[in-house]
Amino acid sequence: MAVIRDMMPVFELFQPASVEDATALLREHGEQAWVMAGGLDSFDWFKDRVKRPAVVVDLGGIEALKGIESTADGLEIRAMTPLTDVVRHPEVREHYGLLSKAAELVASPQIRNQGTLGGNNSQDTRCWYYRDGWTCYRAGGNICYADTPTSMNREHAIFGADRCVAVNPSDTAPALIALDAKMVVQTADGERVVNAEDYFIGPGIDIMRMTVLQPGDLLTSIRIPSTWAGAKFYFEKVRDRQVWDFPLVNVASAIRVSGGTIEDARVAVNGVAPYPMRLTAVEDAIRGASQDEATAERAGEMAVRGARPLRQNAYKIPLMRNLVKRSIRVEA
Amino acid sequence: MANALIGKDFTPPDVRGKVTGRAKYAEDFRAEGMLFCRLLTSPMPHGRVRNIDASAALAMEGVIAILTADEVPEIPAPGNPILTNEPLYVGEPILAVAAVDETLAEEAIAKIKVDLEPLPFTVDPLESLRPGGPNARGSANTVVSGEGLKEIKWTTEDFDAVADGELPMGEPTATWSYGDIEEGFSGAAVVLDETFVTAGTSHHSMEPRTAMAYWQNEKCHIYGSTQSQSFVVPGLARYLGLEPDNVVYVGENCGGGFGSKGAAYPTMVIPALMAKKTGRPVMMRISRAEEYAIGSARPGFQGRVKLGFREDGRLLACDLYVVQENGPNGGFGDMSAAASAISIVYTPVAMRFRGASVLTNTPPRGAQRGPGQNQIANAIEPLFDKAARKLSVDRFAIRRVNAPDHDSRYGANRGAITSAYLGEALDKGAEKFDWQKKQAQSGQRRGSKVIGVGIGQAFHSAGSNGFDGLVRLTPEGKLHIHTGVGNLGTYSYAGTSRVAAEVLKCDWKNCVIERGDSSIGLPWNLGQFGSNTSFTMSRTNYAAAMDAVGKLKEIAARDLGGAPDNYEIGNEAVFRRSNPSRRMTYAAAAKRAIQLGGKFCGHEMADDLNPMTKAAVRGLAGTGLVGVAKDNLPRTGMVPALAAGFIQIELDLETGKFEILDYLGVADCGTVIHPQGLAAQIRSGAVMGFGMASLERQVYDPHYGLPRSVGLYQAKPPSYLDVAVGMGAEAVDQPDPQNPMGTKGIGEPLMGCASAALLCAISDALGGHYFNRSPVLPDMIINAASQRPQSHTPLQVNTD
């Protein structure tokens, strides 16, 4: 642990007004540069003096990165749109209520005013060992402090661990995956559009990153296709504390039902793996089944198959099973 | 005659400042040329400083000085040191750096090279008691009352019990008993023998313990964050090696203390010592992460209790053993307070207490709201439910049959008490909460949700005596009530000041409360802790006001004829009973007091006053009619504050989460002096209790000894969505016979009764699954609901 905490070190602050200026700054400063959206993740790192970037590029002044617009095929939400605006937007509420519900359960009203949709999906993990500045795998070291016989890992992964057992803490990420959202990334080579489920990466791909974003890349907007507009949605977040807390487990589902039969479904959970998990096997299994208790039970059981709990987090197995079950059986 | 002020709501004078943001806290003060000071704290749970190289830091422009442990007064072990060369917990201050701004001070700290030798440590008391187990302080692992630091190891055989999930019970460091417990157990219809764990908790004071200090001539001026005012001064003086007269202490407001800021604490004097060294004022702001280290904590318990009940639920015998997580220093007497609480809340016919307070390399322990009493409420109340199930006795009835009355005895010494209305509190709660109806709903299912109900009870001693009161009537016709108790945020400083106004029959609009700055003349008062203010301060203010009444009558008799006894007071005047037109206003009497001099205006005073009060009176002498007196009213027993909480929850078996549907807290606090203040205490105490029962965590990685919770989002005190929307508040409102206004304190048990009630309701919703542990977190509830084993062993601490 550090000898001092809670006091930001000095850095050079840039506040560009355009995406072009921002990307130019990122290219100029390369790995020295830190991209800051709402600051909720960044300031913790800075104040704890664990991450000490020389340059911080604050995206808060780029108006082009804010706002929600209807498109020919759904909705485009720019990355710096505050979560509160996502929650309140009439079209989000009416057609994509899953996202509005998920965003509303993030943290606290103040944090939702300041935090952005892009930031919520690009934030780092909350593993306390890692955030405390321990030189673990994710911090470039060669050990996972959270996965030992004495580790305190109640909030860690039951799936997808690969040296690192930290989880992705985002509430909106599973909702975006369930809605089949597309993440628009500005790279040095131009714009790249990535499926939401592919935006998040596990430690097997790169143990030091949570998303596909490379230094110099910028998430500029999130496109939600109309495919799932008006479907039956379910979002639930279980957390210790009802305000200002990350999920122990959350679940998002979008289901189309016809005559009691599930025509199609997308289901995703978070808080159980280093990335939000889309449950494709569950989706395949319930497609064509009747929306009843038996199907829901089966979905729940299927969802947790293969889970590998750590010392203190076996409870996540029944919790995830129950949440997936609830997300399937729900009558919207 | 009905009271004009006591029992009525009013707006305390500090409310407006708090609502508008104008209220000044320690960090709001500034002084010319002020430096900022920051701390270098220990990165490891136990170590020894081998060398400090600050040359690079001191070479930075704007960095003025460093202060090390070698330069500050040494506090004899096991006291909490000011700075240390042998840090005993993560975050313990090693040195301080002063610079022209905070960022620079912090950059300087980053440049200081401290060579620390890591030493053995422990964060689990039981591990330290094992043969060959680590000691938190090298040669010692316990602190024994009257003996100080000591090493105690239990035998391997003692630890055989752990295999059965039971607390081993080796040699205790404290013990007491009364009655014959074996006789009680042998005659019992049900005997429970239960091992339990209650976790330690941080204080989470919203205002960290920031302080600013400067010196003028020989006097040290300190602006701090404390619950108390006058009580802090002698402590600060001792830390600084000064006479109390040479300390000026300003503590206008306190952003939460919960016991952790009751007295002077060592970090407060770091800026004072730095100011002395640099010759400039010094501000030391404390960060949230630092507050979690130096901000004190409630000790956790690993305990075992054997309870023997008669068929009707009467508690015949109690045998309690507590292993207390003491922190590395002197700690606090939670374990014996816990035992004493059992003696009065449940009045066992026979009882034995044994305990061992074991040193740990975790933050120093101190008083936290209901120290010991609230942990034991969490442990015992669910066991009363368990016993009630076994006996087929109603859960209300098992509490009612054991409730104390005015003749009940307290603690090891079986001392007398002043009054006890816990039974009446239970009765009132049962009626207002509609316990019978709500209990009948227990177990009702709605999908995956199930109803649970619970009752909790708690206690704290709540009153002292022997302190001084000071009031002053001025020629402007104002009553100045000088209060040295402090302002921890409950408004009881104001509620008890109104006692003086009540006695003197003053319009509250004409009253001024003088407080928050020792240089303005404040009397010697006990600190604002231990739920004592309402009882203690209503007595001092009563004594001072009665002294003023006597002086008013004397002055009137002198000027208007007759004897003082012929006079009455009313409408801010003193008048002749037989002829009310012969009267003198308070303003006129104050003028006369100044003319008369002597005792009337404070030039003379009683000998039995505390030197601090005498100094205050000397400073105020000649400014009006001075009423000043020591509280010499009789007190022949311990003053119990008792509380009962009633709760109904709906628990989701699939998520481990619950919603509090309804809560009612009922206080036995004697006569209610400030209904709004009391209701706020009942509700906020409950909120704090819900956190203790089901949310908060202060835990350490067992392998590295590092804290897991150094931020509010990690430590998880409750939020507004974790509590009931409307929470009921009631009081028995029966006067205590040993207080002139009938009032007693109440703050602390209001937390414990709520915490225990919630734990009982969770277990009730789970059909009688008892966790023997607090907090009970959602993962534990899910495991219980899905018939899975818990991820911790019964005695495990630091369970995340």
CB contact residues (below 8 A), chain A span 3-42, against chain B: 3-10
Picking from B38, B720, B779, the nearest residue to A154 by CB comes out as B779
For residue B328, the one-letter residue type is P
Residue B660 tokens, joined: 């509090």
Q: Helix and strand tally (H, E) in chain B?
A: 22, 31
Q: What residue ranges do the domains of chain A occupy?
A: 10-59, 69-122+167-328
Q: How far is A102 from chain B (nearest CA, A)?
A: 17
Q: What is the pLDDT of residues B55-114, one digit of tens each?
A: 999 999 999 999 999 999 999 999 999 999 999 999 999 999 999 999 999 999 999 999
Q: How far is A241 from chain B (nearest CA, A)?
A: 7
Picking from A148, A150, A314, the nearest residue to B791 by CB comes out as A314
Q: CATH number of the domain at B297-463+637-785, please?
A: 3.30.365.10
Burial of A61 (0-12, 13-18, 19+ CB in 10 A): middle
Q: Does position B197 have pLDDT exceeding 50, yes or no?
A: yes
The size of the A-B interface in CB pairs under 8 A is 135
Tell me, yes or no, if B702 comes closer than 8 A to chain A by beta carbon.
Answer: yes
CB contact residues (below 8 A), chain B span 61-100, against chain A: 90-91, 94
| Average confidence (pLDDT) over B753-766 | 98
Q: Do B110 and A312 touch (CB under 8 A)?
A: no
Q: Does position B1 have pLDDT exceeding 70, yes or no?
A: no
Domain A69-122+167-328 sits in which CATH superfamily? CO dehydrogenase flavoprotein, C-terminal domain (3.30.390.50)
Class of domain B466-630: alpha beta
For residue B652, the one-letter residue type is D
Picking from B38, B90, B716, the nearest residue to A245 by CB comes out as B716
Q: Do A313 and B114 touch (CB under 8 A)?
A: no
- ipTM given for this complex: 0.97
Q: Fold identical between B17-119+206-294 and B297-463+637-785?
A: no
d(C-alpha B638, C-alpha B461), whole Å: 7
Give percent above pLDDT 70 in chain B: 100
Cβ atoms of A36 and A58 closer than 8 Å: yes
Q: Does position B799 have pLDDT exceeding 90, yes or no?
A: no
d(C-alpha B772, C-alpha B302), whole Å: 10
Q: What is the pLDDT of residues B405-424, one digit of tens each?
A: 999 999 999 999 999 999 99
Tell me, yes or no, if A110 comes closer than 8 A to chain B by beta carbon.
Answer: no
* Eight-state DSSP code of residue A162: B
CB contact residues (below 8 A), chain A span 40-99, against chain B: 44, 48-49
Burial of A8 (0-12, 13-18, 19+ CB in 10 A): middle
Picking from A132, A241, A315, the nearest residue to B695 by CB comes out as A241
Q: Which residue in A13, A128, A156, A237 has the most chain B C-beta atoms within 10 A of its own C-beta, making it the best mutation to test that interface?
A: A128
Q: Do B287 and A315 touch (CB under 8 A)?
A: no
Tell me, yes or no, if B720 comes closer than 8 A to chain A by beta carbon.
Answer: yes
Q: What is the pLDDT of residues B276-311, one digit of tens each?
A: 999 999 999 999 999 999 999 999 999 999 999 999
Q: What residue ranges do the domains of chain B occupy?
A: 17-119+206-294, 297-463+637-785, 466-630
What's the longest Cα–Cα distance across chain A? Answer: 63
d(C-alpha A140, C-alpha B496), whole Å: 60
User: What's the number of CA atoms in the CB half-sphere (13 Å) around residue B396?
Assistant: 21
Per-residue pLDDT, A332: 43
Q: Do B102 and A312 touch (CB under 8 A)?
A: no
Cβ atoms of B36 and B211 closer than 8 Å: no
| Average confidence (pLDDT) over B194-214 | 97
Q: What is the pLDDT of residues B595-645, one digit of tens each?
A: 999 999 999 999 999 999 999 999 999 999 999 999 999 999 999 999 999
**Among A105, A101, A41, A100, CA closest to A242:** A105
Q: How far is B224 from chain A (nearest CA, A)?
A: 20
Phi, psi (5° rounding) for residue A17?
Answer: -105, -5
| Average confidence (pLDDT) over B229-235 | 98
CA distances from B759 to A293, B314, B400 (A): 32, 22, 19
Q: Which residue in B84, B104, B779, B799 has the most chain A C-beta atoms within 10 A of its own C-beta, making it the best mutation to test that interface?
A: B779
Q: Which residue in B46, B287, B361, B654 has the most chain A C-beta atoms within 10 A of its own C-beta, making it the best mutation to test that interface?
A: B654
Class of domain A10-59: alpha beta
| Average confidence (pLDDT) over B133-143 | 96
Q: Fold identical between A10-59 and A69-122+167-328?
A: no
CB contact residues (below 8 A), chain B span 744-783, against chain A: 777-780, 782-783
pLDDT tens, residue order, chain A (332 aa): 677 778 899 999 999 999 999 999 999 999 999 999 999 999 999 999 999 999 999 999 999 999 999 999 999 999 999 999 999 999 999 999 999 999 999 999 999 999 999 999 999 999 999 999 999 999 999 999 999 999 999 999 999 999 999 999 999 999 999 999 999 999 999 999 999 999 999 999 999 999 999 999 999 999 999 999 999 999 999 999 999 999 999 999 999 999 999 999 999 999 999 999 999 999 999 999 999 999 999 999 999 999 999 999 999 999 999 999 999 986 64
Q: Do A325 and B654 touch (CB under 8 A)?
A: yes
Per-residue pLDDT, A12: 97
Burial of B447 (0-12, 13-18, 19+ CB in 10 A): exposed
Q: Which residues of A touch B44 (CB under 8 A)?
A: 1
Q: Which residues of B touch A153 (CB under 8 A)?
A: 800
Q: Which residues of A touch B714 (CB under 8 A)?
A: 128
Q: What is the pLDDT of residues B452-465, one digit of tens each?
A: 999 999 999 999 99
Topology, domain B17-119+206-294: Aldehyde Oxidoreductase; domain 3 (3.90.1170)
Picking from A1, A6, A152, the nearest residue to B287 by CB comes out as A6
Q: How far is B109 from chain A (nearest CA, A)?
A: 8
Q: Do B713 and A312 touch (CB under 8 A)?
A: no
- For chain B, the average pLDDT equals 97
d(C-alpha A73, C-alpha A65), whole Å: 20
| Average confidence (pLDDT) over B344-361 | 98
Considering only CA atoms, give the Rg of chain A.
20
> Which chain A residue has the Cα nearest residue B114?
A3
| Average confidence (pLDDT) over B657-667 | 98
d(C-alpha B64, C-alpha A244), whole Å: 40
Picking from A152, A154, A241, the nearest residue to B716 by CB comes out as A241
CB contact residues (below 8 A), chain A span 167-226, against chain B: none
**Among B251, B215, B379, CA closest to B770:** B379
Give percent above pLDDT 90 in chain B: 99
| Average confidence (pLDDT) over B541-551 | 98
Picking from B656, B716, B722, the nearest residue to A319 by CB comes out as B656
3-state secondary structure of A120: helix
| Average confidence (pLDDT) over B122-144 | 97
Across-strand partners of A77? Answer: A68, A222
Q: Do A242 and B719 touch (CB under 8 A)?
A: yes
Tell me, yes or no, if A132 comes closer than 8 A to chain B by beta carbon.
Answer: yes
| Average confidence (pLDDT) over B199-213 | 97
| Phi and psi based region of residue B642 (left: phi greater than 0; alpha: psi -120 to 50; beta: remaining) | beta
Picking from B43, B722, B779, the nearest residue to A2 by CB comes out as B43
Q: Which residues of B touch A128 (CB under 8 A)?
A: 708, 714
Residue B6 tokens, joined: 């006591």
Confidence of residue B146 (pLDDT cuts 50, 70, 90): confident
| Average confidence (pLDDT) over B658-667 | 98
Per-residue pLDDT, A6: 81
Q: Do A3 and B704 touch (CB under 8 A)?
A: no
Q: Do B779 and A2 touch (CB under 8 A)?
A: no
**Residue spans of beta strands (DSSP E) within B234-358:** 247-250, 282-284, 297-298, 301-309, 315-325, 350-358
Tell me, yes or no, if B395 comes closer than 8 A to chain A by beta carbon.
Answer: no
Residue B536 tokens, joined: 């203690």
Q: Which residues of A touch B114 (CB under 8 A)?
A: 3
CB contact residues (below 8 A), chain B span 605-644, against chain A: none
3-state secondary structure of A322: helix
**Among A68, A172, A166, A156, CA closest to A115:** A172
Q: How far is B715 from chain A (nearest CA, A)?
A: 10
Q: Do B90 and A1 touch (CB under 8 A)?
A: yes
Tell me, yes or no, if A253 comes closer than 8 A to chain B by beta carbon.
Answer: no
Q: Do B655 and A323 touch (CB under 8 A)?
A: yes
Q: Which residues of B310-331 are buried (b: 16+ CB within 10 A; e: fewer)?
A: beebbbbbbbbbbbbbbbbbbb
Q: Which residues of B touch A2 (CB under 8 A)?
A: 43
pTM of the model: 0.98
Q: Which residues of B touch A9 (CB under 8 A)?
A: 106-107, 110
Per-residue pLDDT, B52: 98
Q: Do B655 and A243 touch (CB under 8 A)?
A: no
Q: Which residues of A touch B786 (CB under 8 A)?
A: 318
Q: Do B103 and A7 touch (CB under 8 A)?
A: yes
